[in-house]
Structure 1
Amino acid sequence: MRPLLLALAGFLWVALPAVTQAQPGVRITVADFLQAIEQHPDISAHAEGIESIKSEIDIARILPDPSLTFGNVSGDISGMNMPQQLYLGIDYTVETGRKRQHRVQLASAQVRLAEAEHTVFVNEFKRDALLLFQHCWMLEQQIQEDLKYKQEILSLNVPDSTARLKQQLLLLENQLLLDVAQDDLKESLEELNDMVKHVYGAQPVLPAMWVWSFEKYTSAQASRYDRVQVSKASADVVHQEILLMAANRVPDISVSLGNNFVGRATNPEAPSPRYNAITATVSVPLKFSNWHGAERKREELKKASARQQELEAVGVVEDQLDETQDDIADLSTTFTQLNKLIALQERFVSQLPPTQSREKLEELTLLHGYRHQRWEIFDNISKRKADLFVLTGALPRDPSVLAGSQN
């Protein structure tokens, strides 16, 4: 397969200068493009949400604030000159059941979930961007092949009117395809440049290479399933929520400490001088309700459901991974066969004598159809490898799958 790939790459790179002249701009590699995408404002804005969630950890560490109590606890309105009692004190709630610790653990779990979701968001963003990058590159090559096919048809000296009519029909059909491809390329390049304008500004950019290689993507490269990390983080959030709910069922202790300012009583039957009295109380709630037993059962069911969803997510991702890799293997086999078929067809066309222009016209049309089939397979391989990228996040961590390095 490698000689065919090298031959294909050699032809495509020879064809690039003509496209460069038609679409002036700077050629950027996949690595350059990825670096620009990683700085995209949408990714930065999404990451800022994680910082907001991280602030919840600091909030979770906050202890309850004390309360200042002030008032008249015994005001005489009878006219009997009984003493007035003013109270000034501090009330404080002592949390029990490790509530603060569980609040912090829940906030930390929510941060890990946000980070896992951000990783998937970035992978999906890069997937779409890389597919656009590869689509632009592929359209350039298709246009070059269509232009080459047009020149090959025009170069034929057909002997009769029927063959000339066939020649004109093929040229018209090819021109229609060229117009569609050129319009698609123009719109795709505009979208591509819009994605990297925060780095390259008004300077037009063009893809310099393909993104994904043609060979099978092995499971050994799938070192990590980012989608599974989201499920695991989500299950951990549920677990921490349940622990916090259990801690909240533990009654807190309220402590009060204050001073009673007792005024002077002038009642002749019970006169008394002014004095201060220290007040200290502890309040412990008594729980007699059986409602919490039902709450615990509900929490256990919720925990079991989250665990089941996590296990199912692992199975789903592994099935998707196997299915995608099988698809890539089948597509790669078809791609290899098409390359061989195209190479043989090109040799056959080149050996036809000029006098057999009618036969050569038919064979060139057949060859052009094989080339279009090859690009269709190439596009499908790209999409399936993009799916693998989202499942595993392996592309940025494994540069060897990038074109231009080892295949």
Structure 2
Amino acid sequence: MKNRIKLYVVFVFYVWVLPVKGQTISPDTLTPVLDYRTFLKEVAARNMAYAAEQYNIQLAEANLLSAGIFPDPEVEVGLFDNAQRRMKMGYGVSSGISWTMELGGKRRARVDVAQNEVELTKLMVEDFFRHLRADATLAYLRAIHSGLVLHVQEDSYQQLLRLAQADSVRLRLGSITQVDARQSKLEARTMRNEVFAAEADQQAAYAHLLLLLGREEQESLPLLEGDLQVGARTFMLPTLVLEAQDNRADLKAALGSKHISHKMLQLAKANRVIDLGVSVGMEYNAEARNEMAPSPSFTAVQAGVSIPLKFSNRRPGELRAAQYGILQAEKKYELVELTIKTEVRQAFYTYQAAAKQVEQFNAGLLEDAKAILDGKVYSYQRGETSLLEVLDAQRTYNGVQQSFYQALYDYAAALVELERATGIWDIDL
């Protein structure tokens, strides 16, 4: 009876009391603290891909300035000599200015196209941020999920290590066999490898966050605030489809492309209109002292109009291209509209399935697995069950924990994808 009590005290001491040095990243080493809202603000301010995308707006606005420029005038200056030294016919100076007068509303058509391209570019940048915000949120959730999985693996490792240490003492006391002691030690070492893998996953998740933030690799990882609990929401599929059609920037961009295609047709028609060349000049002739035909000096003023022969209008390639561009833009708009409806439906069904999976765990699945493990450990302490049953219960509990965190992540990710597809955003972690 005394030996049994002694063994029980030793077991409890090693398994539940004795602290074991592990590799869990403690909050003290994770600095600074990074909450979700701050993370999104920094992504919007520092993400390199988004910053590069925003320059497209400045480029489009610069093209708008170029579209409104009038044709430049041309100045011509000339000097001629009529062999004054030999024939004494005198010399002269000529000058003039010419300018192309655009007709048919070419400049107005160019400006309209450029203005629509500016608006289209802004919508495309807005749509880029919609995807960036969702991708950044998923990366933030993955980092939280990897930390939870690491905690599960590290906690299991420490418990198995304490169990192995207790079994080594029990082996010396002769209460268990050498096979059981080796088995518990082997399980602890195996779990240690899983901890290493979980640590690598967490490091990779944090590296992705740093990429989104436009930062270099840091020695200390930020401590992420928040969890995978995003809260339950009730959605109606028809309402989501209507909201997506109102909110999605890519659908607005497709509509803008339709407008641009019509403006391009107007520009093509304007380019077929004949332009006029207007010129004004002056010519000065010096006095001619030729004995046979002397003449005084004089100044001549010239003005003229040039009309190009538009043989190129016989080949309406630009006009046909603009007409086909309208048809193409209409088909693309219909495709984007259909794609949005499909994406919303797919995301909605995925969200519903993920919500049902979380409900299974909320119904007590995790608590049942923990109760089974505690019961097996208690029985093992009393010598009423084998080590293999304890290890099997430990694996089951670990699997249920990881499945629970995975279900929470899948649910949160499904919500992100649903709101990405709908064009709404109310997520806060």
Aligned pairs (5 A) from 1:8-407 = 19-21=25-27, 23-40=29-46, 42=48, 43-71=50-78, 75=82, 86-150=93-157, 153=160, 154=162, 161=177, 167-193=184-210, 195-196=212-213, 204-210=221-227, 213=230, 215=232, 218=235, 219=240, 222=244, 224-267=247-290, 270-287=293-310, 291-340=314-363, 341-350=365-374, 354-355=378-379, 356-358=384-386, 359-388=389-418, 390-395=420-425, 398=426, 401-403=427-429
Instruction: Provide Cα deviations, 1:186-245, integer angstroms capped at 9, x if missing partner.
Output: 343345346547699887422111367264574277562133344334444443333222
| TM-score, scaled relative to structure 2 | 0.75
Change (3 A) 1:232 1:193: same
SS at match of 1:213: coil
Higher mean C-alpha displacement, 218-227 vs 131-140 = 218-227
| TM-score, scaled relative to structure 1 | 0.79
Q: What is the CA–CA distance in structure 2 between the aligned matches of 1:21 and 1:47, rounded to whole Å?
A: 37
Shift of 1:181: 0.4
- Alignment RMSD, CA only? 3.6
Shift of 1:272: 3.2
**Retained in 2: the 8 A contact 1:124–1:390?**
yes
**Retained in 1: the 8 A contact 2:47–2:213?**
no
Shift of 1:294: 5.0
Shift of 1:69: 1.7
Q: What is the CA–CA distance in structure 1 between the aligned matches of 2:228 and 2:65, rounded to whole Å?
A: 43
Shift of 1:254: 1.2
Change (3 A) 1:32 1:314: same
**Retained in 2: the 8 A contact 1:123–1:389?**
no
What letter is aligned with 1:210? D
Q: What is the CA–CA distance in structure 1 between the aligned matches of 2:85 and 2:41, rounded to whole Å?
A: 83
Aligned to 2:10: none
SS at match of 2:396: helix
Structure 1's unaligned 5+ residue stretches are 1-17
**Retained in 2: the 8 A contact 1:211–1:402?**
no
Identity score, percent? 19
SS at match of 1:285: coil
Q: What is the CA–CA distance in structure 2 between the aligned matches of 1:300 and 1:74, rounded to whole Å?
A: 56
Q: Larger Cα Rg: Structure 1 or Structure 2?
A: 2
Q: What is the CA–CA distance in structure 1 between the aligned matches of 2:352 and 2:269, rounded to whole Å?
A: 51
Structure 2's unaligned 5+ residue stretches are 1-23, 168-174
**Retained in 2: the 8 A contact 1:216–1:329?**
no
**Retained in 1: the 8 A contact 2:96–2:282?**
yes
